[in-house]
Amino acid sequence: MIASFAPMEGLTSHIYRRTHARFFPGVDRYYAPFLAPDGQGKVKASALRDLDPELNRDLSLVPQILCNRPEAFLALSRELEAMGYEEVNLNAGCPSGTVVPKHKGAGMLADLDSLDRFLAEVFSACPLRVSVKTRLGMESGAEFPRILEVYNRYPLSELIVHARPRDGMYRSTPELGPFALALAKSRAPVCYNGNVLDRKAYEKVLLNFPGLDRLMLGRGAIANPALFRVLRGGTALEAQELRAFLDALCAAFREDGLQERLILGRLKELWYYVNHMFPGAERELKQLNKARCLSDYESAVGLLFASGRFDPDAAFPGALPE
């Protein structure tokens, strides 16, 4: 099984990726959160820095682009090529209300003629291999057969299918029927994504698709950073290693020169997912949420780990902000 860490904007920066790989080795590929170029294909220096090969040493990393203008996609791909990348991923899945109306992300699936033209231009000139991360459609998985026909006209290096339509956001039950079609009919290798939040969900996916050999984990791996290991039959996450991982992340953010306020924001966002492993520790979690500086945060984390409430098998509800 080729196991990939999903792109998670605001969460899986280079600091997260490298720290994660150090503590929880075994991820075959990390996909970077999307770059959203302007019309000339330019992005902010800080966004490009996140992909600096030196800051992503020893990782297999695939950059991702969110854009619907082939010239911009190609210009940025050339820049990525100059940085040493060999593959780029197109985001055809972002469901955000600020992205979709601009016909980007999942919004590309609303007009298949435009998607086709976009891919034709990109594939005629892109110096990199191009993979796509897609939703099943805008409103329903019934749209997927036509979408797949478009993808099959091009030599995609991989088709990652987040098995929900855009309207399902991160809530709806993944639709396995259209995913089965992708596995059967896609010219490109297919990767499953969507709601593999624990071992039970993984086993269910494997039962449905015994031949599946590519899997991408997102929220489940943020919520339990040892999830890749657990799915491969390894040991459950231990409290000490979670603590050491979170401490190392905090230290790495500091070393990178990030302002305290921003570090706190990033860590709290992570805790939004991690907190499910502390059932019954509402008081300590509230204190963590209220932390205004890193020393408050560190005291709250100390109390949480001392609470004895850590349970690595507690179910991650998968309920998320949108």
Ligand X SMILES: Cc1cc2nc3c(=O)[nH]c(=O)nc-3n(C[C@H](O)[C@H](O)[C@H](O)COP(=O)(O)O)c2cc1C
Distance CA 86, CA 99 (A): 26
Q: Nearest approach, Cβ of 290 to ligand X (angstroms)?
A: 22
Strand partners, 64: 34, 89
For 38, residues 6+ apart whose C-beta sits below 8 A from its C-beta are 72
207: Cβ–Cβ under 8 A, 6 or more apart, which residues? Answer: none
* Shortest Å, Cβ 200 to ligand X: 14
- Give 114: exposed, middle or buried? Use CB within 10 Å, 0-12, 13-18, 19+: middle
The residues, ordered by sequence, that sit 6+ positions from 100 with a Cβ below 8 Å of its Cβ are 94, 106, 107, 110, 138, 166
Instruction: Determine contact, residues 304/281, Cβ cutoff 8 Å.
Output: yes
In a 13 Å sphere around the CA of 40, the CA atoms on its Cβ side amount to: 3
CB-wise, 104 or 281, nearer to ligand X?
A: 104
CB of 310 to ligand X, least distance (A): 22
Nearer to ligand X, 144 or 305 (CB): 144
Q: Contact positions toward ligand X, by CB under 6 A? A: 6-11, 33-34, 64, 91, 93-94, 133, 162, 170, 193-196, 217-220, 320
Q: How far is the CB of 155 from ligand X (least distance, A)?
A: 21
User: Which parts of 209-279 fold into alpha helices (H)?
Assistant: 219-223, 227-231, 239-255, 260-274
User: Shortest Cβ distance from residue 34 to ligand X (Å)?
Assistant: 4
Cβ nearer to ligand X, comparing 209 with 287: 209
Residue (28 or 308) nearer to ligand X, CB: 28
Residue 319: what residue type?
A: A
CA atoms of 136 and 148, how far apart (whole Å): 9
Q: What residue number has its CB nearest to ligand X?
A: 218
Closest CB to ligand X among residues 41, 93: 93
Q: How far is the CB of 280 from ligand X (least distance, A)?
A: 25
Q: Tell me the CA end-to-end span of the chain in Å, nearest whole number.
A: 30
Of residues 62 and 263, the one with the C-beta less far from ligand X = 62
**Shortest Cβ distance from residue 269 to ligand X (Å)?**
8
